[in-house]
């Protein structure tokens, strides 16, 4: 099976993009997707995204984790698939597409893309950490010096703890670096390692960093792969009008021969 692929990245969070509007990649199996995402034996990526047709929407985003399993929402992936749609000739001032957690809106920026995330009703507590769902479940822990954190081992331990092992959780370590600015490092389930950036993770971290005051926020976020921003409104019913913005860059394209078995 020949697969024509495109590689995109958003602050180092990299994805394999497939134009699946004709449904030609619907038959891809979990082990095949995992092989494509393998950095030694395949193309390499934190995940794979299929852009498919969907009635009533500009397109559908089907996201798969690097282990080949269907994934939940991916923020940086949502921004990259927006740039991919634009490159394919799907031109819109404001896109409307379907993803794992429902409908999303997105738009192209002069440098990158912006994605409207699902509203968040509440932020729970787990000892010193905050737990919330921004399309994917996240554990957010504030630390004093995020550079010194052993993200892989500490993140892996929390992700596989008795409380979270069954469904898994993404683990974010967050350092406050100034007023409305944070530095985030994330251990991602499905990848089972630290990634250079995680869109739903920085969104969760930004929301968790908001103090008790209602109002509009615009949080600047540093990640290992670059800088993002999350603008949102906090009110009595939760967090709404959440926009994740940052770079979404084409890297390369090619064709790979894949064993059908």
74 included as an active-site residue: yes
Outline where DSSP puts E strands in the chain. Answer: 2-10, 13-19, 47-52, 59-65, 95-99, 102-109, 112-117, 124-126, 129-133, 137-142, 170-178, 181-188, 193-195, 215-223, 226-235, 238-246, 249-257
Catalytic residue among 74, 117, 182, 221: 74
37 included as an active-site residue: no
Outline where DSSP puts E strands in 110-259. Answer: 112-117, 124-126, 129-133, 137-142, 170-178, 181-188, 193-195, 215-223, 226-235, 238-246, 249-257
Catalytic residue among 18, 48, 184, 198: 198
Q: List active site positions.
A: 74, 198
């Amino acid at each position: 099976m020949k697969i024509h692929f495109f590689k995109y990245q958003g602050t180092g969070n990299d994805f394999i993009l497939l134009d699946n509007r004709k449904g030609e990649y619907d038959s891809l199996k979990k082990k095949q997707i995992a092989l494509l995402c393998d950095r030694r034996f395949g193309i390499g990526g934190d995940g794979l995204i299929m852009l498919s047709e969907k009635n009533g929407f500009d397109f559908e985003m089907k996201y798969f984790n690097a282990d080949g399993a269907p994934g939940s929402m991916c923020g940086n992936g949502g921004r990259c698939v927006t740039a991919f749609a634009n490159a394919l000739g799907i031109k819109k001032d404001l896109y409307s597409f379907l993803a794992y957690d429902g409908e999303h809106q997105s738009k192209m920026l002069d440098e990158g893309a912006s994605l409207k995330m699902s509203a968040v009703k509440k932020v729970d507590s787990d000892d010193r950490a905050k737990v919330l769902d921004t399309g994917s479940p996240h554990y957010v822990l504030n630390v004093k010096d995020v550079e010194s954190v052993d993200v892989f081992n500490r993140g892996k331990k929390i992700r596989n703890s008795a409380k979270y092992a069954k469904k898994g959780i993404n683990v974010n370590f967050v350092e406050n670096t100034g007023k409305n600015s944070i530095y985030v490092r994330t251990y991602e389930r499905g990848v089972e390692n630290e990634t250079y950036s995680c869109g739903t993770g920085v969104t969760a971290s930004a929301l968790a960093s908001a103090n008790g005051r209602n109002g509009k926020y615009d949080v600047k976020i540093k990640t290992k792969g670059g800088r993002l921003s999350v603008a949102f409104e906090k009110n009595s019913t939760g967090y709404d009008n959440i926009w994740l913005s940052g770079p979404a860059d084409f890297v390369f394209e090619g064709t790979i021969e894949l064993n059908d078995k």
